[in-house]
Structure 1
Amino acid sequence: MIFKNRRNEFEIIQQLLSLSLNGTKKTRLMYQTNMCYSQFNEYLHCLLEKKFLEPRSGNPHGTLYFTTEKGKKLLDSVNNTLLQAM
């Protein structure tokens, strides 16, 4: 049986930042990245602390998380790094 390699940290961060470009809810983000709650919270806390993601409230559906300008620059760097690794 052949197993797909696990994602590395760059791939997880890339996925979190790209899914948040247009804003997304925390639960949807966790499900789309296919992570358990504890692992997801570690990444989310880190990205929020470093100002790569920002929460925006006021939406009738709850708080949405958006990729910041700083996060978009990181996303570009991560994308370039992953492309070079191929």
Structure 2
Amino acid sequence: MAPGVNGKRDKYEIVYDILQVCKGGAKKTKLMYGANLSFELQKRYTELLIKKGLLMKQDEMYYITKKGSDILQVLQRYKEKKKDFEDALTKLKNFEI
């Protein structure tokens, strides 16, 4: 996912990226590269998502759960709405109001 207006991803975009990478299962390295995370961020987020029931870890692989899949759909809509908002904001800035 592309960064937002300020150049950084928000926590929802990071969670989206993690869940997307883990749809078919992912080891730690694939998850880090696929979601563009440092080791520390990957560790922090995967622990949180496991506690929340969105991910599960089995045999060194991370998998998305049913609950995680449901949240992924919500995050997809969030991502689309956020892009629409950012596009509108860019257009407004071009008018220099």
Alignment TM-score, normalising by the size of structure 1:
0.83
1:78 Cα shift?
0.7
Of Structure 1 and Structure 2, which has the larger fraction of its residues in helix? 2
Cα displacement (A) at 1:84: 1.5
State yes or no: 1:84 paired with 2:76: no
Structure 1 letter corresponding to 2:73:
D
Structure 1, unaligned runs of 5 or more: 58-62
| 1:38 positional shift | 1.2
Match of residue 65 from structure 1: 62
Q: Deviations over 1:27-70 (max 9, x none)?
A: 2101222221112111111001111001122xxxxx21110000
Of the two, which has the highest radius of gyration?
2
Q: Structure 2 CA distance, aligned partners of 1:39 and 1:65?
A: 15
1:18 deviation in Å? 0.7
CA distance in 2, matches of 1:72, 1:37: 24
TM-score when normalising by structure 2: 0.74
Larger relative contact order (Cα-Cα within 8 Å, sequence gap ≥ 6): 1
User: Given the alignment, which residue of 44, 47, 50 partners 1:45?
Assistant: 47
Distance in 2, matches of 1:11 and 1:21, equals 16
Question: Share of identical aligned residues, percent?
Answer: 27
Question: Which SS does the other structure have where 1:44 is aligned?
Answer: helix
Count of aligned positions: 78
Q: What is the CA–CA distance in structure 2 between the aligned matches of 1:22 and 1:35, rounded to whole Å? A: 18
